[in-house]
Amino acid sequence: MVKTRITLDDIYRYAQVREISLAPDGTRAAFVLEAPRRADDDRMPNLYLLNLEAPGEPHRLTRGAFKDSRPQFSHDGHYLAFLSNRPDEWEVAESRQPEPTSAEKSGPDGDNDGEPKAQVWVLDLHRGGEPRQLTRRPEGVESFAWSPDGTRMVVESRDPSPEQEAYLKSLRNKKKPGPFVLTRVQHKADGAGFLDDVPHHLFIVNMADRSETRLTAGPASETNPIWSPVDDSILFSSNRTGDPDQNGRVDLWLIHPETRTVRRLTRGDVNAASAVFSPDGAQVGFISGREPENAYVVQHVLVMNVADGLAVENLESFIGQGWTEIGGVVPDDSGPDPVQNARVYPVAAERTPARILTEGMRGPVVHLTWPEPGRLVAMAGHEGQWRLSSVYPEGRWELQEPTERLATLTGFDAKGRRTVAVIDSPQSGQSIYRVDESTPAVAISPLQNAWLAGRNTAEVRVIRYADHDGVEVEALVTLPPGFLAGEAPPAPLLVMIHGGPMAFDAPAFDFDAQYFAGLGYVVLQVNYRGSISYGEDFCRIIQGRWGPMEHDDVMCGVDELIRLGWADPDRLFCTGFSQGGIMTNWAVGHSDRFRAAVSEHGMWNYEAAFGSDDCHSWWQDDLGVPWQNKDLYREISPMSGVDQIRTPVLITAGEIDWRCPLDQAEQLYMALKKRGVETALIVYPGEHHAITRPTRAVDRLTRLRDWLHHHGGLGDPPLAGDPSLEKAPS
């Protein structure tokens, strides 16, 4: 077989597993595969079923223009429930075409896309057939969980009052949409638009007749329910400070669906996530950091006894109780420390009686299961990788798959002694593995094999070097296919800076890096100080001090590749997305070494971003509020280096990006224009912080490639293999 390099047309072949769920007996796994559809210019997540007892191709369960997610087996494995926005089954059964409900008329940002809301659907895996719709919530369903006996389901759904329903209806009126009336501090969120104050509540749905019973009510939201395996109680999450937009105090609660008795488990000093019951129902495990509002701290696994819960007389009115103060309002007198002055968080009256099980773990835990007595399984970040970790209630943990350095975990589920894991590697992409305790992982299905086997993928290496402060920094280097490191002439270098800043570049299949390496670039991806998986100190050191340290780590990586003879010092280029765009803006203002740069969806002026983006709490915790700390906001903003920029900069932005708003890109663009620096601004209509449509992804990479080529980089040479692969996407 003649292998060809990766081309932009391969974007239409690149599918990714987004979620995976293991059957109770461990023999099957259901997963969501998000795949591009060329004709419709979208990416649709559909369900697949895989037999873990024998390698083979997965069986496709759903198809079409429906967004399927959250697969979850019933406890006997007979049924598979999932969320989907497919057309309403009741309307089809009634053979009528009614006017869409107000909930069905609107998508994010009130754009009236007419897309139905997600409901719970159920597949009968024994008898087959079409999925059956279980819920018909006007605002859709956010999450759900099976009862142990499989006869009921608890669902989480937005639940507007009559007044709120009237407001939503006015917004969704196609002819005369009403105004947004904003009263929340967190008044917007990227991808969701302007936010209302409609709470999320819990409902019990009977599987036999689809009847529904309300379980919770009131002004606070109840989310992420799970059913106890033993006593019919339901665990859920809720921030009941009365001011949830200004703190991260998410507590865990228990409610009994028959008696409606409620117990509060955690005590207002945690930000609990990914909660799970122990198999005997006596304990609850969850994830939280020691400082609930601090995004730079390691998220640990904690466990507590259900018996330590406190009785709550009335859940609906339990708002603001259990804290000696709620905080939220920043005092006008900034005092000697404006940052500390602005950290006005709730003070819990008592501590949660929980134990941390993952002391010493260098990175965060982001997903947790409790598959068998005496062992939890987590997805943990560790020195630039995501890995499976067994966590034991006595307070120890051990890292597991993947054991090789050049691979990373992207998803998992565990039942009993079996785990199903999605492991991604830089050259072969994602594969699904069966992992049995104490035995090597077994590859069941390589998901990208069909097209990726015909591509000449680039080699990825890990390098380590010291920055100017003597700190060891790690980076991934993607080498052009066939590049003989140390023997080949130095190649043009493209620095790709990751976002976050607390994220990290893990050794997975990276389409962008592979594409540019295929053109002939050496691609450098630095896990600079701030990357969370190298220990809490390594991450926390940049809190409130963005810019110089990350930049030094990146530039020392550039110097290391030049020293190794891999990178041509006269052809250096830089790009980055989100925080990577911020650091690209910083780089061109503090270095003249790059011939050209591309700043994607980044930030420029932090003071102007406060209140116009969706990260007010983050700014407040890092820098205080801008009217009390104006000099620091300006000092660490990339705009502080504006008069030093000579590098040509291409700028990209999403029209309705509310993480890094469009006006940030416009300010950078205007500053460069007024100073005579070569620049251009590309605005993607209707796009949020991430690029979603395949055609936009192709356009983005085409513009990036051509900008670099115009300034001395590499173009897109003809393929030596099959010329049909290079045809323009249709």
Structural domain includes residue 190: no
Where does a domain end: 455, 484, 514? 455
pLDDT in tens, 595-616: 999 999 999 999 999 999 999 9
Same domain, 425 and 474: no
Q: What is the mean pLDDT of the chain?
A: 93
Same domain, 462 and 451: no
Structural domain includes residue 464: yes
Where does a domain end: 421, 455, 489? 455
Query: How far, in Å, CA of 27 to CA of 54, rounded?
Result: 9
Q: What's the number of domains the chain is made of?
A: 2
Instruction: Specify whether the backbone of 140 is left (phi greater than 0), alpha (psi in -120 to 50) or beta.
Output: left
Same domain, 427 and 493: no
pLDDT in tens, 633-688: 999 999 999 999 999 999 999 999 999 999 999 999 999 999 999 999 999 999 99
pLDDT in tens, 386-407: 999 999 999 999 999 999 999 9
Where does a domain end: 455, 472, 499? 455
Structural domain includes residue 446: yes
Query: How far, in Å, CA of 103 to CA of 174, rounded?
Result: 13
pLDDT in tens, 74-124: 999 999 999 999 998 876 555 443 333 333 334 434 443 467 899 999 999
Residue 479: strand pairing partners: 459
490: Cα separation from own chain's centroid: 36
In terms of C-beta density within 10 A (0-12 exposed, 13-18 middle, 19 or more buried), how is residue 162 classed? exposed
Structural domain includes residue 25: no
The larger pLDDT score, comparing residue 1 to residue 397, is at 397
Structural domain includes residue 3: no
Q: Which domain holds residue 439?
A: 357-455
Cα separations in angstroms, 380 against 275, 387, 412, 618: 15, 5, 11, 23
Query: Residue 91: its pLDDT value, please?
Result: 64
Contacts of 162 (CB under 8 A, 6+ apart): none
Q: Which amino acid is at 592?
A: D
Mean pLDDT, residues 173-184? 95
Same domain, 560 and 656: yes
Query: How far, in Å, CA of 532 to CA of 577, rounded?
Result: 18
pLDDT in tens, 39-53: 999 999 999 999 999
Structural domain includes residue 273: no
Instruction: Using the predicted structure, report yes or no on whether residue 724 has a pLDDT greater than 50.
Output: no
Same domain, 470 and 597: yes
Same domain, 386 and 505: no
Same domain, 681 and 600: yes
Same domain, 720 and 574: yes
Same domain, 422 and 509: no
Same domain, 544 and 682: yes
Structural domain includes residue 671: yes
Length of the chain: 730
Q: What is the CATH number of the domain that holds 696?
A: 3.40.50.1820
Structural domain includes residue 346: no
Same domain, 592 and 698: yes
Same domain, 594 and 448: no
